[in-house]
Amino acid sequence: MRRSAPSVNRLAAFQPFPTFARGNDEWPRGHARNYGSSDTCVQVTVLGASGGIGQPLSLLLKLSPLVSKLHLVDIKHTLGVAADLSHIDTTSTVKGFTTEKDEKALEQSLTGSHIVIIPAGVPRKPGMSRDDLFNINASVVRDLVTACACFCPKALIGVISNPINSTVPIAAEVMKLSNVYDPKKIFGITSLDLVRSNTFVAELKNLDPADIEVPVIGGHAGKTIIPVLSQIKPSGICFTDDEAAKLIHRIQEAGTEVVKAKAGTGSATLSMAYAAARFTFSLCKALKGEPNIYEWAYVASNIVDCLSHFSSKLLIGKDGVAENLGNGDLTKKEQEMVNNALEDLQKSIEKGVEFVKKSA
C-alpha cells in the first residue's frame, strides 16, 4: 500500500473534466459552461495532430471543458483524426486541417487561436540525441511559427518539438523577424520532466505521485534537466547521496529509457501527451482568469545572466508569463548542476538563433 503524504494539489492543473462518480454512469457531459470563473471561449490549435504525441494530446484536449474549439493540423490524416474525436460526447468542437493539398489550411486553422501547441516533427530513435533531431525539426518549427506570426500573433505558443533547448529560441527569433515577438507568450513545454520526477520520487518513497511536486529547472536534454530535490513538496522527503544520484540520472535519461524500451518504434508519446495536456490546461485556466496558475517551462529569461532562455517556476496570467519566480534557494550541489549545464544550454540557444539568421 502507498502512504499518502500531505497533498500539494499538484494535479489541480490536470483536470480534463470535472470529477464524476465512479459508481454510476455520470460522465462529464455538458459541464463546459460551469467550469472555472469565466465562460471565455478558448480555441486551441495542435500543429502535428496526427502523430504519436498529437493524437493522444488531442484526445485529452477534446475531453476538457476548458477547450471550446479544437483545431487539428498535420500534413495528412488529420481529417480522420478529427472525425474520430468529434464523436466523443463532450462540448468542444473539433475541426481537422491537412496541409498536404490545402495551402490555406494553416491560415484557417490558426486564425482566432488563443493557444497553439506544436508537437510536429520527427521523434527520437535509438542512438539519436535530441540534437540529432535538429536539422529536421528546426525547419518544421521555423515554418509553423512563421504561420503563427502571420495568423495568430497574440496566441500563447507551446513548443514540444525537440530539441526544445534550440527550438524555443528558433520560435523567438521567427517572431522577432515578424515584429510580433512577445517573450511572455512562447513556452518550451518541459512538463514531462516534472511528471517523471514526481513519478520516480513516489516510486522510491512509496508515496502517491499526486502528492509530490518536484521542481525541475534548466532545459530539456540530458544534464540540462536539473531536478531540485531540495525543494520537493511536501517537505521532509530525504534522500541518501546514492539515492539522489541515481534518481537524478534516471530523470535526466528517462527519454532514452523509453526510446530503448520501444526498440525503434518511437519515443515518449503517451506520457508527453499527458504532460503537454496538463500544461495546456494551465494556459486555458489562466486565459479564463483563474488566479495562481503556476508552471515550470523553458522561456525567455534573465534568471541566469549568461542565458537568454531557461526553465524555472512561472506564474501564468492572461497574457502569458506574469512573473518569472526563478529557481529559489538551491543547494551547493544543485547550483553546480546549473553551472555544468550552462555551456550546453548556451550552445543550443546559439544554434537555434543562428539557424534562423542563416535561413532568413
Is 272 among the annotated ligand-binding positions?
Answer: yes
Looking at the predicted structure, is the pLDDT value of residue 5 above 70? no
Is 121 among the annotated ligand-binding positions?
Answer: no
Looking at the predicted structure, is the pLDDT value of residue 29 above 50? no
Looking at the predicted structure, is the pLDDT value of residue 150 above 90? yes
Q: Which CATH class is domain 39-188?
A: alpha beta
Domain ranges of the chain: 39-188, 191-359
Is 33 among the annotated ligand-binding positions?
Answer: no
pLDDT digits (tens, 9 = 90+) for 30-65: 333 333 445 689 999 999 999 999 999 999 999 999
Looking at the predicted structure, is the pLDDT value of residue 10 above 60? no
C-beta of residue 338 within 8 angstroms of C-beta of residue 217? yes
Q: Where are the alpha helices (DSSP H) in the chain?
A: 54-63, 78-86, 105-110, 134-151, 164-177, 191-205, 241-252, 254-261, 270-287, 332-359
By annotation, the residues acting in catalysis are: 220
Say which range, 20-24, 129-133, 283-287, has the weakest mean pLDDT.
20-24
Q: How many whole angstroms separate alpha carbon 26 and alpha carbon 22?
A: 8
Q: What is the pLDDT of residue 40?
A: 84
Is 161 among the annotated ligand-binding positions?
Answer: yes
Q: What is the pLDDT of residue 24?
A: 34
Say which range, 38-47, 70-79, 207-216, has the weakest mean pLDDT.
38-47
3-state secondary structure 78-146: HHHHHHHHHCCCCCCEEEEEECCCCCCHHHHHHCCCCEEEECCCCCCCCCCCHHHHHHHHHHHHHHHHH
C-beta of residue 188 within 8 angstroms of C-beta of residue 166? no
Second-level CATH architecture of 191-359: Alpha-Beta Complex (3.90)
pLDDT digits (tens, 9 = 90+) for 297-350: 999 999 999 999 999 999 999 999 999 999 999 999 999 999 999 999 999 999
Q: What is the pLDDT of residue 132?
A: 75
Looking at the predicted structure, is the pLDDT value of residue 156 above 90? yes
pTM score above 0.85? yes
Mean pLDDT estimate for the chain: 90
pLDDT digits (tens, 9 = 90+) for 164-199: 999 999 999 999 999 999 999 999 999 999 999 999
Is 48 among the annotated ligand-binding positions?
Answer: yes
Residue 204 CA: distances (Å) to CA of 134, 199, 254, 338: 34, 9, 15, 24
Q: How many whole angstroms separate alpha carbon 186 and alpha carbon 144?
A: 13
Looking at the predicted structure, is the pLDDT value of residue 130 above 90? no
Q: What is the pLDDT of residue 8?
A: 52
Q: What is the pLDDT of residue 13?
A: 45
Is 206 among the annotated ligand-binding positions?
Answer: no
Q: What is the pLDDT of residue 38?
A: 52
Is 196 among the annotated ligand-binding positions?
Answer: yes
